[in-house]
Amino acid sequence: MIKIVTIVGARPQFIKAAPVSKAIASQQGLREVLIHTGQHFDQNMSEVFFDQMDIPRPRHFLNIHSLSHGAMTGRMLEEAESIMIKEKPDLVMVYGDTNSTLAGALAAAKLNVPVAHVEAGLRSHNMEMPEEINRILTDRVSRILFCPTKAAVNNLTREGFAEFPCKIHLTGDVMYDASLLFADKARKPAKVRLPAHFVLATIHREANTKNPDNLANIIRGINQVAEKRAVVFPIHPRTYKVIHGNDLPPLSKKIKLIEPVGYLEMLHLLQNSQLVMTDSGGVQKEAYFFKKPCITLREETEWTELVDAGYNKLCGTTPDLMTDAARDFFAEAPVFQQGLYGNGNASAKIAKALSDS
């Protein structure tokens, strides 16, 4: 029996873990133990995902959050190491690019426990992003790298991973698995009256929320788009605090602010929107899964294939670029072709690879 300790702690990781944990449970010879770092601790940002998605309940909850990057990562590393010494796993699995990801990977590597990284090989080539640092370092200490796209594999090849003691697997994207698994269970957010036609907006990335100029420009851009189409904005707690704690432009009355939503409610919003505006990597992909054009509120993206195909436009924080992109998408929506992220069997491939490791 192969014992796997899985580290999760942030919203995207709960979504990715759901289909993979299901596949692990059905794969003979695998046993999984979850550690929840607590990086996302709000009910709507964390607990609701376990309730909705039938993710195994974490055996260990670290309750580490609301700290600087260094302090958070250091405390997570210390606590995760202590748990791993007690659990004695055969392998540690981490997801994505958060502080939880890096802390779990480093703790395991220093104990000489093999690390498996789901969503390996992604690169934005922006070293000012904490996520870029996390994913590069995590890849480097991982022995099993599960890549969602051929571009991710190519990134690792260019960086010399063929010479490292690791195995690289092209699996497809586990978030696509999740979208297929839960699409029919999508549900309207409770007590929310949605416009008949709307744009879905999300903002959470620190490069935007910690930079008042960036956030002010994003608000201006969304306000301009809202003049043409109603905007529904499930607002991240950090974003809400920044908007209401600084001298920023007011949000248009045509923007409907709602509390953060669970995964099933987010699927409903995606399914029923006309356009997505986001700085989230995961939401960019989810827009594609449901054939919605996307305006990315960043200067770069890890998901370059979406831009190349015309489904996604990088607008940074320039209001006029946002309104021009929205106008173009409203005038002529892209014709979506599926297949960029596999066939929906990435989780099964990962479980099989883990069983063979």
Q: Is residue 251 part of a domain?
A: yes
Residue 267 CA neighbour count, 13 Å, CB half:
20
Q: Is residue 163 part of a domain?
A: yes
Judge whether 204 counts as a catalytic residue: yes
Domain count, the chain: 2
Q: Is residue 178 part of a domain?
A: no
* pLDDT for res 124: 94
Report whether 210 contacts 238 (CB < 8 A): no
Q: Which two tokens stand for residue 110?
A: 């220093």
Do 253 and 326 belong together in one domain? yes
Do 193 and 259 belong together in one domain? yes
Q: Is residue 216 part of a domain?
A: yes
Q: Is residue 46 part of a domain?
A: yes
Reported as type and span, the H/E element at residue 129 is none
Q: Is residue 136 part of a domain?
A: yes
Do 19 and 124 belong together in one domain? yes
Q: Print pLDDT tens along the chain (357 aa).
A: 999 999 999 888 999 999 999 999 999 999 999 999 998 766 455 567 777 887 888 999 999 988 899 999 999 999 999 999 999 999 999 999 999 999 999 999 999 999 999 999 999 999 999 999 999 999 999 999 999 999 999 999 999 999 999 999 999 999 999 999 999 999 999 999 999 999 999 998 988 998 989 999 999 999 999 999 999 999 987 788 888 878 899 999 999 999 999 899 999 999 999 999 999 999 999 999 999 999 999 999 999 999 999 999 999 999 999 999 999 999 999 999 989 999 999 999 999 999 998
Q: Which amino acid would we find at residue 182?
A: F
Q: Is residue 30 part of a domain?
A: yes
Reported as type and span, the H/E element at residue 104 is helix 99-110
Do 33 and 103 belong together in one domain? yes
Domain extent, residue 191, equals: 185-331
Q: Which of 36, 204, 236, 268 is catalytic?
A: 204
Do 282 and 240 belong together in one domain? yes
Do 167 and 21 belong together in one domain? yes
Do 157 and 219 belong together in one domain? no
Supply the CATH number for residue 300's domain.
3.40.50.2000
Give the residue carrying structure tokens 């309940």.
57
Reported as type and span, the H/E element at residue 92 is strand 91-95
Do 16 and 89 belong together in one domain? yes
Dump the DSSP string for 296-315.
ESSS--S-HHHHHTTSEEE-
Do 224 and 302 belong together in one domain? yes
Q: Which two tokens stand for residue 330?
A: 């409203």
Q: Is residue 180 part of a domain?
A: no
Q: Please, what sign has the CA dihedral across residues 133, 340, 172, 187?
A: positive
Phi, psi of 101 (to 5 degrees): -60, -55
Do 158 and 265 belong together in one domain? no
Give the residue carrying structure tokens 């066939």.
343
Phi, psi of 137 (to 5 degrees): -65, -40
Do 161 and 28 belong together in one domain? yes
Q: What is the pTM of this model?
A: 0.93
Do 18 and 163 belong together in one domain? yes
Helix, strand, or coil here: 200? Answer: strand
In whole angstroms, what is the distance from residue 37 CA to residue 103 CA? 10
Q: Which amino acid would we find at residue 290?
A: F
